[in-house]
Amino acid sequence: MNTTSVSEVMEATPQRSSPVSGSADIGTLLDDGPYTGMQKIVVLLAALSIVMDGFDGQLIGFAIPLMIKEWGITREAFAPAVAAGLIGMGIGSACAGLFADRFGRRMAVIASVILFGTATCAIGLSPDALTVAALRFIAGLGIGGALPSATTMTAEFTPARRRTLAVTATIVCVPLGGLLAGLFASHVLPLYGWRTLFFIGGSLPIVLGLLLLASLPESPRFLARRPQRWGELTTLLGRMGRPMPEGVRYTDALEQKSEQQGGFRALFAPGYGRDTLAVWVAFFMCLTAVYSAFSWLPTMLLAEGLPLALASSGLTAYNLGGVIGALACAVAMTRWGSFWPLLICCAGGAASAFAMQTLDVDQNTSLLIFGFGVHGLFVNAVQSTLYALCAFIYPTAVRATGTASALAFGRMGAILSAFVGATVITQGGAHGYLTLLGTVMVLALIALVLVRRHIPRRAPGSTRADKQHLADQPSQP
């Protein structure tokens, strides 16, 4: 394990002033220090929680056609069950952020994972759509809570130079989980039915939750803000290759300087209000597109006459494209900043949706499935990297709240997709469905143009002093 001391870290990095005797700046230690194996393990655990989040969250999309058939109901009649899960996700996102900022990131992640795993298992016992709706609401609380908590954990364990890629790699686990759910469903559904799909799918995150309970540490930046837990922080920093003397006082100069007030109101403090609103709109539009696919893409393709196996492959392709696109966009953002990569991906998401309107479902089936893969590449690239943008915009005290509030507002778009998706498929077919997907990505593009505090290009040799300059003055794209 790397044993670089705090003095070596500070000497290797230009400082604005000498540290106070007996004190250490947690921001300098984390942002400019080494990226040790222990930190990477924490990021891996956070990523696994998001894999399970995406896995359990998307099982319903593959099961809907069979559930509708078994109970003899319409797509519109099942829409409330879809919406209930999304409403739960919205509430879970907002509550988890406040919980994580007050009580810690660790328990927010663990509680979320165990909650959605337990509720997903119980869906396998459902006798009707109303029961599914109630259980999906409960599962949604956990699914919504895991995302902001895990991304905040990742951001606060990762040095600044690698944060964008690490956060995006964590979020890309949502479509990765969906991809695994598609492969899992393709084997389980034909042999054992949708009930077994939920039994097994819910058991996996419960096991992961127990693993997290035994091994996941608390965020060092969270601990630094609580003097009564500085002993725990000193031990944790030692495990992270940053040995500290007993009795050291911890500060977070950069974050404390950038904080004007705590809580929800801080999201609208001078310099933040415009970015907060623009990011909320971007989340709303992206999640409308994403959950229109997660919830209704197999159902739409089935309504167009494709067999169930081929209809399900459309969502699998969408998720596969999403994994590739999110990672590629994260690499691009690391090199060129967030402004142009995000705008290009928004434009690509809109263009791919409108281009698919020219395809005949019967004559160009393979090309249509490929098209959804391309569309998923662009849309998930935007959605996944928006979390990294939130991690950059907000300081520690409100980072989880800022990310969670953006996601909660975005969940309103997801809820809208539950009802609009079913109606559009019934009345407009594939053409209306693709129009919806293309239009919301155009609106997401406009919102991201308005964001002022985009992640800048990180030049080689950039220092914490450079970051301070960016924190003091929002950048203009």
**Domain coordinates of the chain in residue numbers?**
23-472
**CATH code for the part of the protein at 23-472:** 1.20.1250.20
- Angle of the 273-303 helix axis to the 75-103 helix axis, nearest 10: 150
Q: In whole angstroms, give the CA distance from residue 429 to residue 325.
A: 27
Whole-angstrom CA distances from 31 to 34, 61, 260, 333 are 9, 40, 21, 18
Under the banding of pLDDT at 50, 70 and 90, the label for residue 466 is very low
pLDDT digits (tens, 9 = 90+) for 105-160: 999 999 999 999 999 999 999 999 999 999 999 999 999 899 888 988 998 898 88
CA distance 136 to 341: 34
Give pLDDT, residue 401.
79
Q: What is the pLDDT of residues 194-212, one digit of tens each?
A: 999 999 999 999 999 999 9
pLDDT digits (tens, 9 = 90+) for 437-462: 999 999 999 999 999 999 988 665 55
| pLDDT at position 111 | 94
pLDDT level of residue 254 (50, 70, 90 thresholds) = low
For residue 174, what are its two tokens? 């949502």
Residue 216 has pLDDT above 90, yes or no: yes
Burial (Cβ within 10 Å: 0-12, 13-18, ≥19) of residue 245: exposed
Query: Facing residues of 250 across strands?
Result: 24
pLDDT in tens, 384-397: 889 889 878 988 67
Q: What is the mean pLDDT of residues 10-39?
A: 66
Render pLDDT for 360-369 as a digit per residue (tens, 0 to 9).
Answer: 888 899 999 9
Higher pLDDT, residue 226 or 353: 353
Confidence class of residue 465 from pLDDT cuts 50, 70 and 90? very low
Q: What is the mean predicted confidence (pLDDT) over 292-303?
A: 89
> What is the average pLDDT across 400-415?
83
